[in-house]
Amino acid sequence: PGALSAHETAIGLIPDDPPTPELARVLAGYGQILMLVDHWTEATEVLSRAVELARRTGARQAEGHARNSLGLCLAVGGLYREGYQSLEAALRIAHEIGSPDDIGRAYVNLCSAYRYAGDPAGGLEVVRRGVVAATQFGLDRTYAYFIRSNGVQCATELDAWDEGMALADASIGSPADGRVHRRYGLANALPLLVARGDERTAARLDELRTILATTGVEGQFHAPLWIAETEYALWQGDPSAALDAYVAGSGCRRPRTRRRLRARGGTGQQRPALARSATQRGRPSCALRARRRRRRQGWHARRRRQSARSPWPNGRVSTVDRTSPRGRPPGTSGPPGTTCTWPRTPAIASPRLP
């Protein structure tokens, strides 16, 4: 609140006409703060204005700083291509003017943008490049830490367990890190620790809970905590505690936090059933989860290919040749008399896995 008030006061003191580099810099900082507290729409408007003013006045540092934050806001809003372009432009400007701070921020935000776009593999590649760049600029204790922490989330989503744990240990392995570092590293590492059943999970949950007890709600830190608490309680066979953690998080007023929790918690009628089923089925091994994901991906890819080759309208078929490769029309291969009639079914359906 103090930083927001200070920036609002500064904006009121600087005239709009004529445009000045000073106003562009203040707007860039103001937009960054709005982004950090999850006011994405308002931040996008402020940062867009900052970029426009910076370009009109030739303020390259202000333009790069504003584009850095604007790229992530656009990605959160679903404009992934525009977000990538803004962040890449910010990275080029940072290299041109020699701004290590904006170089580190660009890699952190670009990795997050890839994750919001559903491309954790692209995000992990950015992490690898970013760690090298941050180390070259002497940022190994600051931005390299944050970049590695983002990489933990990407590796978790890709089932790259070993790389994820290596990045997590590099981020939260030392208890001497400052408060800002610890909360960022723990928020990103907890989902992986819970998923693997790591023996340090309970202690890390308590540590992050203590750190956040005296701060305002920020989705990037509180959402991972509530999600991890919910899943950890389920794996411990305590659905009541899981529902309590879910209710605490879903009551948060930050839109992004609610959206992330609802994706895990289901509808109101489903939550008790989800809690019971999670405790009854037990924790699948990491290898089993990876196999199930590969099976789902392969199943959907095969069905898409079948639909593309199908001669029937809307990709539907009424007969299947048992001896022919999947997806080919009946009678195109195999001996006569081997086709049989099946019920008409959609070309794409949900796989049923054990």
By C-alpha distance, which of 236, 214, 238, 211 is closest to 224?
211
Nearest-5° Cα angle at 288, 150 to 354: 120
CA-based R_g, the chain, Å: 25
Residue 333 has pLDDT above 50, yes or no: no
Contact 228, 194 (CB under 8 A): yes
Least confident segment among 29-33, 111-115, 160-164, 174-178: 174-178
Mean pLDDT of the 112-140 span: 92
How far lies 149's CA from each of 112, 146, 152, 172, 213, in Å? Answer: 11, 5, 5, 9, 21
Contact 72, 91 (CB under 8 A): no
Backbone dihedral angles phi then psi of residue 156, each to the nearest 5 degrees: -60, -45
Give Cβ neighbours of residue 200 (< 8 Å, ≥ 6 apart): 193
By C-alpha distance, which of 219, 222, 274, 217 is closest to 243?
274
Instruction: Render pLDDT for 261-312 as a digit per residue (tens, 0 to 9).
Output: 333 344 333 334 333 333 343 445 555 666 666 666 766 666 666 666 554 4
More confident position, 44 or 347:
44
Q: How far apart are CA 87 and CA 83, in angstroms?
A: 6
Give Cβ neighbours of residue 313 (< 8 Å, ≥ 6 apart): none
Mean pLDDT of the 70-83 span: 94
Model pTM?
Answer: 0.67
How far lies 53's CA from each of 19, 27, 62, 175, in Å? Answer: 6, 9, 9, 43
Residues of the chain above pLDDT 70, percent: 69
Q: What are the structure tokens assigned to 44, written together?
A: 């996008």
Q: How far apart are CA 321 and CA 34, in angstroms?
A: 59
**What does the pLDDT read at residue 14?**
78
pLDDT-derived band at 245 (thresholds 50, 70, 90) equals confident
Q: How far apart are CA 143 and CA 131, in angstroms?
A: 8
DSSP state of 285: P
Output the average pLDDT for the chain.
Answer: 77
pLDDT-derived band at 257 (thresholds 50, 70, 90) equals very low
Q: How far apart are CA 348 and CA 351, in angstroms?
A: 9
